[in-house]
Amino acid sequence: GAGVSQSPRYKVAKRGQDVALRCDPISGHVSLFWYQQALGQGPEFLTYFQNEAQLDKSGLPSDRFFAERPEGSVSTLKIQRTQQEDSAVYLCASSLGSEPTYNEQFFGPGTRLTVL
Amino acid sequence: SQQGEEDPQALSIQEGENATMNCSYKTSINNLQWYRQNSGRGLVHLILIRSNEREKHSGRLRVTLDTSKKSSSLLITASRAADTASYFCATDPRRSNYQLIWGAGTKLIIKP
């Protein structure tokens, strides 16, 4: 079966541009997470969806970051007016149940964002 | 902010030897998970241990959890070249229902 997919795999943006990163979770997975991973560091939580509801967005670093999952499947992370400090790998993960921290998370390959 | 800290930051051993990595965390947890990340397969879940468990095994992996010391260890026995990767622990602090908090990882290199 297909795993979690993300697109694009690589994105280069000029400072000030808007970008949109897409995540296709495993079909039927209720929970969806976005993480930001800097080089040499572990993932940092950004936001969590349970179906289409965004239940936790406390990790989003600024109001330039926005995420949605309108139909409870595909999710998009949008970053407006990108800054150099936004350069990182953005990881999406999904899990089957609605108790997200009690279940294995399945990760996509990530989108490497470079802001020039 | 990162809850977990892995130790050591880097570890290089010969193929066939055992590798032990440690994770310390700061607040009470419900469970602790270990993940592996390499360039080929991305982040992959290895094992989950609940706060009321002390030890868990999965193939060549053995995980222990000491909630009194707020620490966990991951032992990989009979290491293989394919075990070369970064290993992360992730905890779910009881203050949050949704977040996993990750350490910075241990980079493991298996020398042939």
CB contact under 8 A, B42 and A55: no
CATH topology of domain B5-111: Immunoglobulin-like (2.60.40)
In 3D space, the residue among B93, B37, B49 whose CA is nearest the CA of residue A58 turns out to be B93
Number of helical H runs and strand E runs in chain B? 0, 11
Q: Is the sign of the CA dihedral A38, B107, B64, B46 positive or negative?
A: positive
The answer to whether residues B8 and B21 touch, using CB atoms and an 8 Å cutoff, is yes
Task: Determine, yes or no, domain membership for A64.
Answer: yes
Average pLDDT value for residue range A56-67:
95
Of A100, A107, A110, the CB nearest to B98: A100
Look up residue A108 and give its DSSP letter. -
User: pLDDT, tens digit, for every residue of A10-39?
Assistant: 999 999 999 999 999 999 999 999 999 998
Segment 42-81 of chain A within 8 Å of chain B by CB: 42-45, 48, 55-56, 58-59
pLDDT in tens, chain B (112 residues): 455 678 889 999 999 999 999 999 988 888 999 999 998 778 999 999 999 999 999 999 999 999 999 999 999 999 999 999 999 999 987 666 788 889 889 999 999 9
Position A112 in a domain: no
Structural domain of residue A65, as residue ranges?
Answer: 5-106
Provide CB contacts within 8 A for A35, sequence distance 6+. Answer: A43, A44, A45, A46, A90, A91, A92, A93
Nearest to B67 by CA among B19, B30, B109: B30
| Contact residues, chain A, for B30 at CB < 8 Å | 101-102
* Domain at A102, CATH number: 2.60.40.10
Task: State residue B1's pLDDT score.
Answer: 46
Q: In chain B, which among 70-89 make CB contacts under 8 A with chain A?
A: 88
Verify whether the Cβ–Cβ distance B42 to A110 is below 8 Å.
yes
Chain A residues in contact with B43 by the CB 8 A cut-off are 43, 91, 93, 107
Verify whether the Cβ–Cβ distance B101 to A108 is below 8 Å.
no
| Residue % of chain A over a pLDDT of 90 | 90
**B43 touching A, CB under 8 A?**
yes
Query: What is the model's pLDDT at position B96?
Result: 67
| Residue contact B103–A42, C-beta within 8 A | yes
Q: Where are the domains of chain B?
A: 5-111
pLDDT given for residue A16 in this prediction:
97
**Residue A1 confidence class, pLDDT cut points 50, 70, 90:** low
Interchain CB contact of B111 with A (< 8 Å): no
Residue B101: both structure tokens together: 């908090």
Distances from the Cα of A7 to the Cα of A32, A52, A64, angstroms: 16, 20, 20
Q: How many domains does chain A have?
A: 1
| Domain-located, residue A98 | yes
Mean pLDDT of chain A, nearest integer: 95
Q: Identify the pLDDT of residue A97.
A: 84
